[in-house]
Amino acid sequence: MTPEFHLVLNDRDLHEALENAVYEAGFDDSELTIRSDHAAIWICRRRGELTALVRQALAQAKQAGLHVSHVEIENAVFA
């Protein structure tokens, strides 16, 4: 399973310092993008269970000093 989700950051712009911080935090398997007028890290290439991956990504962002506003889940089906 490869769930997709966004870590929406407090930053509104994609600037070089943010790009460097995201890469140095180990998100080199993800994409930095804009979502809802905020910078966001699109997690789309990690295999595993959604809850565990979200927790891992949040911890990774926190450790790097990135400020996450919220998480948006992509392609989630709840039945």
Residue type, 26: G
CATH architecture of 4-74: 2-Layer Sandwich (3.30)
pLDDT band at 76, cuts 50/70/90?
low
- pLDDT of 66 above 70: yes
Identify the pLDDT of residue 75: 61
Residue pLDDT, tens place only, 44-63: 989 999 999 999 999 999 99
CB 57 within 8 A of CB 7: yes
pLDDT (average), residues 66-75: 88
- For residue 75, what is the DSSP state? S
Residue type, 78: F
- pLDDT of 79 above 50: no
Give the global pTM: 0.87
